[in-house]
Amino acid sequence: MILLRTARGGVMAYRNKTYICFDGDTDMKYYRLMQAWSANQRFSFDFYNAHDLNSARDTSEVESIKRQLRVRFANSKLLVVLIGENTARLTKFVKWEMEVALRLDLPIIGVNLNGSRKRDALCPPTIRDELAVYVPFGMKIVEHAMANWPASHAKYKSEGKTDYYHYTDATYMSLGL
């Protein structure tokens, strides 16, 4: 973890990572595609992946994995939830990851793998009624949300808003979508 000194001499964690939460059994290809977008020099899509900090193995004990995931969260500024067919039913880690992000007040981007531009029936109950933005899976709109949602989240939070959001058709048109 990178630490910075505050003006008063305190220490704070430098949060620059994106934590991506997903069904590792069925939606790994979407996570891998996001990594490929970031690695490709021809694309502007880029993010600092919290998963690069350590490797939580499926063979580890649950508490050991959660300890490693907490390190990832300590360095994260944003949670991206890849929402697939089974995401809402995953309770062992995915639900826990969303709950941790909510406790840490991280901005949440729900990425619908079914192409929906709004919150839909596949949205996990844990984040269904929380402050979040929903977008379909696609490089340009995910990149836009990652760049813009944290500031919007902070603004809406300061105004006491707790609703969910989605981008207008004008936003998609401006991105060429």
**pLDDT bucket at 140, cuts 50 / 70 / 90:** very high
Rg (the chain; Cα; Å): 16
* Alpha-helix runs per DSSP H in 19-138: 28-39, 62-74, 94-103, 125-128
pLDDT of residue 158: 94
Q: What is the mean pLDDT of residues 161-165?
A: 92
Asked if residue 95 has pLDDT above 60, the reply is yes
pLDDT one-digit tens code per residue, 4-21: 333 444 434 455 678 888
Q: pTM for the full model? A: 0.82
Return the minimum-mean-pLDDT range out of 23-32, 57-66, 69-78. Answer: 57-66
pLDDT of residue 53: 41
Q: Over the range 111-139, which residues count as b (16 or more CB within 10 Å of their CB) and which as e?
A: bbbeebbebeebbbebbeeebbbbbbbbb
Q: How far is CA 81 from CA 38, 88, 99, 101, 102, in A?
A: 17, 11, 12, 10, 12
pLDDT of residue 16: 63
Q: How far is CA 120 from CA 10, 15, 102, in A?
A: 43, 30, 19
Residue among 90, 87, 89, 93 at smallest CA distance from 111: 87
